[in-house]
Amino acid sequence: MATITSRKEDYSKWYNELVIKADMAENSGVRGCMVIKPYGFAIWEKMQRQLDQMFKDTGHENAYFPLFIPKSYLSKEADHVEGFAKECAVVTHYRLKNSENGNGVIVDPEAKLEEELIVRPTSETIIWNTYKNWVKSYRDLPILINQWANVVRWEMRTRLFLRTSEFLWQEGHTAHANEKEAIEEAERMLEVYADFVENFMGVPVIKGVKSPSERFAGAIETYCIEAMMQDGKALQAGTSHFLGQNFAKAFDVKYQSKEGKQEFVWATSWGVSTRLIGALIMSHSDDNGLVLPPNIAPIQVVIIPIHRTDEQLDAISKIAKDLKIELNKLGISVKFDNRTEYKPGWKFNEYELKGVPVRVTIGPKDLENNQVEIARRDTLEKSLVNIEGLSVYITELLQEIQNSIFKKAKERMNSLITPVDTYEDFKKVLDEKGGFVSAHWDGSIEVEEKIKAETKATIRCIPFDAVEENGVCIYSGNPSKKRVLFARAY
Amino acid sequence: MATITSRKEDYSKWYNELVIKADMAENSGVRGCMVIKPYGFAIWEKMQRQLDQMFKDTGHENAYFPLFIPKSYLSKEADHVEGFAKECAVVTHYRLKNSENGNGVIVDPEAKLEEELIVRPTSETIIWNTYKNWVKSYRDLPILINQWANVVRWEMRTRLFLRTSEFLWQEGHTAHANEKEAIEEAERMLEVYADFVENFMGVPVIKGVKSPSERFAGAIETYCIEAMMQDGKALQAGTSHFLGQNFAKAFDVKYQSKEGKQEFVWATSWGVSTRLIGALIMSHSDDNGLVLPPNIAPIQVVIIPIHRTDEQLDAISKIAKDLKIELNKLGISVKFDNRTEYKPGWKFNEYELKGVPVRVTIGPKDLENNQVEIARRDTLEKSLVNIEGLSVYITELLQEIQNSIFKKAKERMNSLITPVDTYEDFKKVLDEKGGFVSAHWDGSIEVEEKIKAETKATIRCIPFDAVEENGVCIYSGNPSKKRVLFARAY
């Protein structure tokens, strides 16, 4: 039986063990790269399908751009190269079939590339180099494109889902005729992310903007959603960037306006990644294993028979199969685990570990009483429910669990937002309680850096809903108009 | 107006122009890598969704394995390394953020990897290195996994979709307790591919096995489906490999059988790629542009209004929108192109170029007569149809077009299978007619190689349905029991 370290004992170890034991992912033979196992990938597929529909509903189309980026592209946008050139995998050589190049000349079995290629850490540069040829007139705008892809950012310290050298993500890249439209797009996509993360993943977030030093490399403004994990550390769940005309200027992407003038195009980009699975796990799960919100659970209902005789199993199977068909019709995914090589107790633990939201147990006594036992994973509560109307009951229960998981996480997050007015209190809260610390900051990079160096806390975001108030920076004592949220973060 | 070179004039140029002008894909700034544009990618998405469902219906789950493969893994299976090590992109260096390694030691901004990494050309080696830890007992088998991924095979001569250095594909990798089950799996997946390619893409195929020299590197048997393009050249549309115990032995993957014995695991792998889009284009399209089978068309029906006044457009719009809603309910994708900046004639050409199966034109006269004009893309036939019952008419027409496109391609393929009994006739047919040449072959690699060197024709497959007959090899005169299919191929 798989048992895992408790959160209290060692939160970090709990997470690592849970990912492995719930069969979500594992480390591969390639340093820093993970294998996403079928159960973990099924969650990613559900996330993908939902997000993809939301992107399409907001007018976006998918496309695919190359994995490799010529090194020179990366250097064209000054801030961007500063941010990304230092965490890359570099392709320097290629090998050719028949050791022959395009001109029929025999080449070395391993030949050096004329220009080194970077494995994409993000695709702004290769995409804007492409958009250059797509945009001539205002009629060609907006371009609203998303890409599902793998990206590589070389990392020395990696953790499954949270930080891996290769990860899966989507990246939207849009081009617009004016600033207003681009800003609206960046804000719209942040709302899409917040909607998805809160309503599908059940993870509450705070929406806001990043401080200048935490912005995406090459962005004018980075909008973000920040989530709070059970251990009081924050996790950036999604970002949407207003890129201004930076990439248009770097790649010379101009359009002719209605008035006949040549103008640079305005840009956004936005992305979420398999990192979200880490946020999902750390938001809801407990010492028994995963707790999955029904909207994202690959198996929403598991039915487990308890029987001593074959006749009993036959009778239970009939009910189970009818229930499965009924639930499937309602769009609910059901597993009937009638394997005889595993005992019910083993199965209970297994599906608890895997976070299946609802467990239906049917035993011989239940048959007599025309009832089943229902256990919900989030609260571990059990109840006996009449077979009559069971599918309606389960449908409503799944919705109730979805709401309840979010509510619980939201209450926890709210309890982990602490306003402080002095640097002493700031440090004390960070060390004793964790969570978001809401404090006045004078807006200077120097203060931000000093606080980070001294406490490891960074500014997670300047919340959209921050109220204007007169305050003084907890560090410098300089005047400040708004509180920002600091936290230690993943 | 986009006009394209005719097939007769220059088939190859026709293809290249069509891919560009129909907005399917284009070359990127990275040599040999393509950009798949939204319209081309929408076709790939439809293919993916259908195939993915078919894989799941046959018991498979998706997972994700690393992009990078340590060089040493590739060498573990002798035939495999021979086939793949020579067309790879090699990652030799990495760069680190903060120029700091895991131990806080400052490293070079660009550091050499201890072991070079290959960008996956196919994933057998990394996957079997993983399966090693997943398989202990017969209870862990079978493993039925599929992966959607990008792969890289370095190519000097590339063509959009048909041969690119990076391409998208799916690769199934399964592990079984015995030989029989593995062979059945390889055969089952070939049937899935044939079903998909014929019934969804409308492309007829011949099912068979590859000759030993055309097998996948590391396979015991390669099953394949071969398609025939309009220019008489063959195209391999999908392959499924029975890998025997080759990879299990290379990576030491054993299981304990029910009887308690340690046995090597049996394997299959199977894949199709974005190359299929090339086959789709070259099978059905004509000098006016793409011809897409309705099952795979991103837009199945386009509605174009013809009007002089705003009142006319309003009246037409009402009918168009009602029709769109009705068709959408039936699962049919519809575009109502009411843009006023483009003339109807321009739109006709545009959607012909893009292969939209059904065009509905509504003009003021049609309103008076309570009818619309329907044009089908495959035959270019037009007819006037009463608005009453229009959605049923269109639903049936789409099915009729799907069937008709397949039938036409099937007749063409059948007309391009020519049995010959002498090498003279063989060469004559290849040069004058093209297509599959059905000929006796003595089974020797030497003859196969000589024929290839002299005629550029390869053995495309030994068809499953080849009849046993006594014959003599067209080249050596040695006895032969079966005809095989030769062709020049993409």
- Kindly state the average pLDDT of the residues B256-279: 97
Mean pLDDT rounded to a whole number for chain A: 94
pLDDT over 80 at A107, yes or no: no
CA A139 to CA A256: how far, in whole Å? 9
pLDDT of residue A81: 82
CATH of A299-397, picked from 3.40.1360.10, 3.30.70.2860, 3.30.70.920, 3.40.50.800, is 3.40.50.800
Strands (E), A180-313: 206-209, 221-228, 234-244, 254-256, 262-264, 266-273, 301-305
- In one-letter notation, the amino acid at residue A408 is K
Give B136-161 pLDDT, tens digit per residue. Answer: 999 999 999 999 999 999 887 899 99
Contact residues on chain A for B139, CB-CB shorter than 8 A: 341
Q: What is the DSSP letter of A64?
A: B
Q: How much is the pLDDT for B86?
A: 75
Q: Work out the minimum CA distance from A70 to partner chain B, whole angstroms.
A: 7
Best mutation site among B35, B74, B137 for testing chain A: the one with the most A CBs within 10 Å? B35
| CB-based contact B152:B158 (threshold 8 Å) | no
Check residue A97 and give its pLDDT: 58
Over residues A158-171, the pLDDT tens digits come to: 999 999 999 999 99
CB of A125 closer than 8 Å to CB of A153: no
Contacts of A428 (CB under 8 A, 6+ apart): none
**pLDDT recorded at residue A99:** 46
CA–CA min distance A383, chain B (Å): 33
Separation in Å, CA A241 to CA A41, A48, A134, A235, A251:
27, 20, 21, 18, 18
pLDDT of residue B100: 47
pLDDT, tens digit, for every residue of A404-433? 999 999 999 999 999 999 999 999 999 999
Partners of residue B152 in chain A, C-beta under 8 Å? 67
Q: Do domains B296-397 and B417-487 have the same CATH topology?
A: no
Write down how long chain A is.
490
Q: Residue A95 has what pLDDT?
A: 77
Give A56-73 pLDDT, tens digit per residue: 999 999 999 999 999 999
Q: Which residue of B has its CA nearest to A126?
A: B29
Above 60 in pLDDT, residue A1? no
Count of A-B CB contacts under 8 Å = 177
Closest partner residue to A62 among B38, B99, B119, by Cβ?
B38
Q: Using one digit for the tens of pLDDT, what is the confidence trace for A258-315? A: 999 999 999 999 999 999 999 999 999 999 999 999 999 999 999 999 999 999 999 9
User: What's the distance, CA A275 to chain centroid?
Assistant: 5
Cβ atoms < 10 Å from Cβ of A399: 12
Contact A90 B85 (CB under 8 A): no
What's the pLDDT score for residue A2? Answer: 57
Q: Over pLDDT 90: what percentage of chain B?
A: 89
Q: Which residues of A touch B30 (CB under 8 A)?
A: 66, 68-70, 117, 126
3-class SS letters over A328-397: HHCCCCEEECCCCCCCHHHHHHHHHHCCCCEEEEECHHHHHHCEEEEEECCCCCEEEEECCCHHHHHHHH
Indicate the class that CATH gives domain B296-397.
Answer: alpha beta
Q: Is B266 helix (H, G, I), strand (E, B) or coil?
A: strand
Contact A355, A377 (CB under 8 A): yes
**Residue A233 vs residues A190, A225, A404, A432: alpha-carbon distances, Å:** 21, 14, 22, 12
DSSP, collapsed to helix, strand or coil, labels residue A55 as helix
Cβ distance of A38 and B63 shorter than 8 Å:
yes
For residue B145, which residues of chain A lie inside 8 Å, CB to CB? 38
Q: At residue A389, does pLDDT exceed 60?
A: yes
Which of B35, B66, B92 lies closest to A92 in CB terms?
A: B92
CA distance A183 to A242: 6
Query: Cα(A36)–Cα(A311) distance, rounded to whole angstroms?
Result: 40
- For residue A44, the chain B residue with the least C-alpha distance is B63
Question: Across the interface, do B41 and A64 touch by the CB < 8 Å criterion?
Answer: yes
> pLDDT exceeding 90 applies to what percent of chain A?
89
Residue A107, CA atoms < 13 Å, CB-side half-sphere: 19
The identity of residue A176, as a single letter, is H
CA distance B263 to B177: 8
> What CATH code is assigned to A11-92+103-284?
3.30.930.10
Q: How far is the C-alpha of B325 from the C-alpha of B36, rounded, in Å?
A: 30
Please say whether the beta carbons of B93 and B116 come within 8 A. no
- B82 min Cα distance to partner chain A (Å): 10
How far is the C-alpha of B472 from the C-alpha of A398, rounded, in Å?
A: 69
Right CATH for B417-487 from 3.30.110.30, 2.40.30.10, 3.65.10.10, 3.40.50.10490: 3.30.110.30
Confidence of residue B75 (pLDDT cuts 50, 70, 90): confident
Identify the CA nearest to A230 among candidates A442, A405, A37.
A405
Average pLDDT value for residue range A85-95: 83
Kindly determine whether residue B41 and residue A30, on different chains, have CB atoms separated by under 8 Å: no
At B481 the three-state DSSP class reads: coil
The distance of B290 to chain A (nearest Cα, Å) reads: 19
| Per-residue pLDDT at A101 | 47
Question: pLDDT of A136-162, one tens digit each?
Answer: 999 999 999 999 999 999 887 899 999
Is A126–B62 a contact, with Cβ atoms under 8 angstroms apart?
no
**Is the Cβ pair B61, A38 closer than 8 Å?**
yes
Indicate yes or no: CB of B88 within 8 angstroms of CB of A109: no
Name the CATH superfamily housing domain B23-69+125-284.
Bira Bifunctional Protein; Domain 2 (3.30.930.10)
Render pLDDT for B404-433 as a digit per residue (tens, 0 to 9). 999 999 999 999 999 999 999 999 999 999
8 Å CB contact of B28 and A150: no
pLDDT digits (tens, 9 = 90+) for B222-238: 999 999 999 999 999 99
A119 and B91 within 8 Å at the Cβ level: the answer is: yes
Q: How confident is the model at residue B101 (pLDDT cuts 50, 70, 90)?
A: very low
Residues of chain A neighbouring B29 (CB-CB closer than 8 A): 66, 70, 73, 126, 129-130
Domain extents for chain A? 11-92+103-284, 299-397, 417-487
Q: Between chains, do B86 and A67 touch, taking CB under 8 Å as contact?
A: no
Candidate from B36, B150, B156 with C-beta closest to A67: B150
- The backbone torsions φ and ψ at residue B357, rounded to the nearest 5 degrees and listed phi first, read -60, -40
pLDDT digits (tens, 9 = 90+) for A455-488: 999 999 999 999 999 999 999 999 999 999 999 9
Asked if B92's CB is within 8 angstroms of A91's CB, the reply is yes
Q: Do B41 and A33 touch (CB under 8 A)?
A: no
Residue B413: helix, strand or coil by DSSP?
helix
Residue (of A348, A358, A278) closest to A44 by Cα position: A278
User: Tell me, what's the pLDDT at B99?
Assistant: 46
**Smallest Cβ distance to A38: which of B26, B96, B145?**
B145
Q: Which residue does chain A place closest to B121, by CA atoms?
A: A95
Nearest chain B alpha carbon to A109: B86
Q: Nearest-CA neighbor of B102 among A168, A19, A159?
A: A159
* Chain A: closest CA distance from residue B421 (Å): 33
